[in-house]
Amino acid sequence: MTFLAEARLANVPWAALDGLGPMLAPALEAILSGQSAETVLDRVLRAHRHLSADQRRVTAEALFGVGLWRRRLRAHAGPDAPPLVLLGVLARDLGQHRAVSLDVTLPSPAPPPDDWRDRWSIPDWLADVLHRVHGPDAPLAAEALCRPGPVTLRANRRVTTRDALAHALADEGRRTAPARLAPDALHVTTRPANLTATTAWQRGWFEIQDEGSQLLAEAVPARDGDTVLDLCAGAGGKTLALASRLPAATLHAFDTDRERLSRLRARASRATARVHVHLALPEDLRVHHVLVDAPCSELGALRRGPDLRWRLPPDAVTRWPPAQRELLRTAARHVLPGGALVYATCTVTPDENDAVVTSFLAEDPRFTLEPVSLPLCTPDGCLRLSPHVHGTDGFFAAVLRRAA
């Protein structure tokens, strides 16, 4: 059986590799040594602007593909196989291209590995995490992390609807399909789409945002007219999702990264959303609801960075809980009686999710766990999203209600 994660590689123009070996070898070596594939790719494409469209595409697929599939490729070619041999195996066996021209000798073709960690190119420590979280479905979770996530839009309810946005984009040659979970989400099916060149983008009709991230904003139990603080706002994706859903709400946003807050201001202006952006969090600020989208290991977004699993240290899942608990303490000081604190992450580990919530509730008895008011709420009252089940990035959310 050919899985989706493998099948997409058959559509890559691998014949365009001919003659690119000398350029790709040092780039692949850099990635296998720990450099970001995205950074290396950008550097290569800037240095070789003469490449054709097919050559540019195959360069990207080569760098990202070897970066992602290195464990599987080494299981076949050997742990010390040169980078171009790994690329040749990628193109021949996963890409189904039988005439690889890289001037290297490849091992004989072999069937996919039986060990799911090898097959889906998962580090041992990450395989342990997936098994702990998903049990017997761990191989399915691993396979989903090898598929690129869709490009998803969120329609800005302040100025349009999802259907109107879809029609407007179709008029400009961009095809979309409604997402099945988030009410304002559209998956883009045209490639490449060049979305920022559309009239809809210029008018502020949409933001690019994963469907799971949109659902986190939906999980905030706010009514229009409430006050809401996004404590870890970043560049404002969830802040603007709240502004779209709650046009009469008073929104506050804070983050320690001022550059990202600057981007939030620009995005809010384009979306016609009014957001109070704070460079310093006012001690006396009190709101009905606080969203804490806490920094984390980001394991839920691994499909967005093909080589990220190989650059994360094994302690990635244990380094964040102290900071996450401190953020909850800070957030609790700003929640009005009767209000709610929503704790969210883009990871799937119990260490960063359940354990942090349990610790906080034991420390502050004013708060109790309240079921997330979404159909996807799990029996324990939380929101848990994963790529292999929901098609979204991996997310967690819990609603913690303060006593009145």
- Spatial contact of 255 and 291, defined as CB atoms under 8 Å apart: no
- Closest of 112, 89, 107, 18 to residue 59, by C-alpha: 18
Residue 170: per-residue pLDDT: 97
367: left (phi over 0), alpha (psi -120 to 50) or beta: beta
Active site residue 232: no
**pLDDT tens profile 214-250:** 999 999 999 999 999 999 999 999 999 999 999 999 9
Residue 4: per-residue pLDDT: 72
- Measured CA to CA, the distance from residue 334 to residue 3 in angstroms comes to 48
3-class secondary-structure state, position 250: strand
- Measured CA to CA, the distance from residue 178 to residue 220 in angstroms comes to 22
Residue 1: per-residue pLDDT: 45
C-alpha count within 13 angstroms, C-beta hemisphere, residue 239: 31
Residue 3 binned pLDDT confidence (cut-offs 50, 70, 90): low
Mean pLDDT of 38-52: 96
**pLDDT tens profile 267-298:** 999 999 999 999 999 999 999 999 999 999 99
Percentage of the residues of the chain whose pLDDT score is greater than 90: 93
Residue 333 has pLDDT above 50, yes or no: yes
**pLDDT tens profile 86-132:** 999 999 999 998 888 888 999 999 999 999 999 999 999 999 999 99
Catalytic residue among 146, 232, 346, 382: 346
- Closest of 191, 258, 185, 189 to residue 12, by C-alpha: 191
